[in-house]
């Protein structure tokens, strides 16, 4: 006897990808996520490819993973996908330090973030 299959976390016309432990602050990552929200996936991939932000490379990988999930796991049409949601969360923070003058200690915070991208298939209106 096996267990029942887990219910889907997203709707039938959606697919999701999540990338954790990105070495950047959530605030900087949210700027890149804001660039692609609501756009068609091919336009979003192009914007990320030509972005000057360092973290755009990792966001592009996550978007490609969401597109692959939509195509292979959920049988959605790639040409009709849009980036429905792209949201950012905080992850762990490494605390480091540096000795400063007069016996003091300079705190260095190294934040990590995570991004979730949800793509949705829409019917093209002609």
Lowest average pLDDT, out of 8-12, 38-42, 56-60, 103-107, goes to 8-12
Distance between CA atoms of 89 and 24, rounded to whole angstroms? 11
**125 has pLDDT over 70:** no
* pTM of the entire predicted model: 0.90
Tens-digit pLDDT profile for residues 106-122: 999 999 999 999 999 99
Query: Which whole number is the average pLDDT over 8-34?
Result: 95
Query: Which whole number is the average pLDDT over 27-56?
Result: 97
Distance between CA atoms of 16 and 119, rounded to whole angstroms? 6
Whole-number pLDDT of residue 87: 96
Residue-averaged pLDDT of the chain: 95
Burial of 116 (0-12, 13-18, 19+ CB in 10 A): middle
- The label of the residue with tokens 């992850």 reads 91
Distance between CA atoms of 82 and 121, rounded to whole angstroms? 6
Whole-number pLDDT of residue 123: 80
Burial of 111 (0-12, 13-18, 19+ CB in 10 A): middle
Q: Where along the chain do its domains lie?
A: 14-121
Distance between CA atoms of 102 and 45, rounded to whole angstroms? 50
**124 has pLDDT over 90:** no
If one looks up domain 14-121 in CATH, what number appears?
Answer: 3.90.470.10
**126 has pLDDT over 80:** no
């Amino acid at each position: 006897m096996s267990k029942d299959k887990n219910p889907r976390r997203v709707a039938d016309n959606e697919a999701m990808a999540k990338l954790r432990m990105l070495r950047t602050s959530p605030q900087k990552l949210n700027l890149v996520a804001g660039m692609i929200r609501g756009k068609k996936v091919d336009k979003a991939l192009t914007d990320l490819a030509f972005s000057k932000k360092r973290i755009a490379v990792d966001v592009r990988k996550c978007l490609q993973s969401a597109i692959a999930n939509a195509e292979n796991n959920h049988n959605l049409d790639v040409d009709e996908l849009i980036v429905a949601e792209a949201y950012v969360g905080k992850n762990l923070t490494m605390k480091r330090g540096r000795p400063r003058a007069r016996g003091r200690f300079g705190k260095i915070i190294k934040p990590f973030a995570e991004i979730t991208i949800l793509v949705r298939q829409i019917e093209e209106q002609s």
